[in-house]
Amino acid sequence: MIKSVAMIVVPNFSIFEFGTAFEVFGVDRSDRGTGVPAFDFRVCTPAPGEVPMKSGLSLHVGLGLDAAADADLVIMTPYGRDEDVPESVLEALRAAHARGAWVMSICSGAFALARAGLLDGRRCTTHWHYSQELASRYPAARVDENVLYVEDSRIITSAGTAAGIDACLHLVRVEFGASVAAAIARDMVVPPHRDGGQAQFIDRPIPACGSEPMKELLQWMVLHLGQDHSVNELAARVHMSPRTFARRFRSETGATPAAWLNSQRVLRAQELLETTDLNIDEIARESGFGHSVLLRHHFAKVLDTSPQSYRRTFRGHLAAAV
């Protein structure tokens, strides 16, 4: 059972993500409901004193890393991922995991966990802006950019910003049950659980291609999403054999023609859900899926949410900006 929480900060840490964990674990809400605990919350740093934040502000931290030595949960705040993290921080993270404590990172804090070797062979995530970089720099880590958070062997990594709240509430739910997590969430005026994952927030434009014929073909396919496109037909449009075309298409887009086409249909459906009042059947036809059941299937497969939930999340905000 988690009783003590130590949050590690290093220079240029992010204030909002720090605040998300503090709101969940640093505020005494023991009077909000049966079983809601008051955590022993500590902030620590390798060199106690003034620690600059990314925003230009600073935080006075009086505790060194020894404050994390017996914590039940150690949280790594995000920081400038290109900056070196002191070895003492990496040792504190390793020691926490070795003694069976929970270890959590928020956003780019995952880079410290990866440097410490804690993500080797484990599923993890970070902000989608940094996911490919994390996977490239630490190939032993199994990076999933489509989720809000991941739990693997008492290590929790989260996506950016507000996903830190999701990860913290998830851990509360695991340790104390759904009613306690709901009580804390209610007091914070946030949902105890959000539908879908990080995938619905990722901007995926048409990828750049090395050859002009392939670029023109992709643009043509986007303009004709409602048509069925066979490999033979597409290969003929760029004057290639089907085998050569299939190989070139995957090398330039990272997907098969069918998978790429469905991803573009999902993108079109997202646009229509955000900017129009068309119903789901109409959007299925306009985006090239034809039937709503296919739209729902591929929407859930790619974005891990439903078209209706996606519209509720994004429609009001974007419609107000038009």
Between CA 103 and CA 157 the distance in angstroms is 8
**Do 17 and 122 share a domain, yes or no?**
yes
Task: Select from 198, 38, 13, 8 the least CA-distant residue to 103.
Answer: 8
Does 151 have pLDDT greater than 70?
A: yes
- Greater confidence (76 vs 177) lies with 76
**Nearest 5°: CA angle at 161, between 195 and 179?**
50
**Do 165 and 257 share a domain, yes or no?**
no
The residues facing 51 across adjacent strands are 59
Task: Give residue 197's pLDDT.
Answer: 62
Does 207 map to a domain? no
Q: Which of 166, 200, 234 is the last residue of a domain?
A: 200
CA 297 vs. chain centroid, Å, equals 21
**Nearest 5°: CA angle at 198, between 195 and 202?**
130
**Do 182 and 285 share a domain, yes or no?**
no
Task: Give residue 274's pLDDT.
Answer: 79
Does 205 map to a domain? no
0.85 surpassed by pTM:
no
**Do 50 and 92 share a domain, yes or no?**
yes
**Do 19 and 164 share a domain, yes or no?**
yes
Q: Which of 171, 200, 229 is the last residue of a domain?
A: 200
* Count of domains for the chain: 2
- Greater confidence (255 vs 230) lies with 230
The residues facing 42 across adjacent strands are 6
**Do 179 and 311 share a domain, yes or no?**
no
CATH number of the structural domain spanning residue 21: 3.40.50.880
Task: Give residue 26's pLDDT.
Answer: 97
Does 206 map to a domain? no
Domain containing 136 equals: 4-200
Does 313 map to a domain? yes
The answer to whether the beta carbons of residues 209 and 252 sit under 8 Å apart is yes
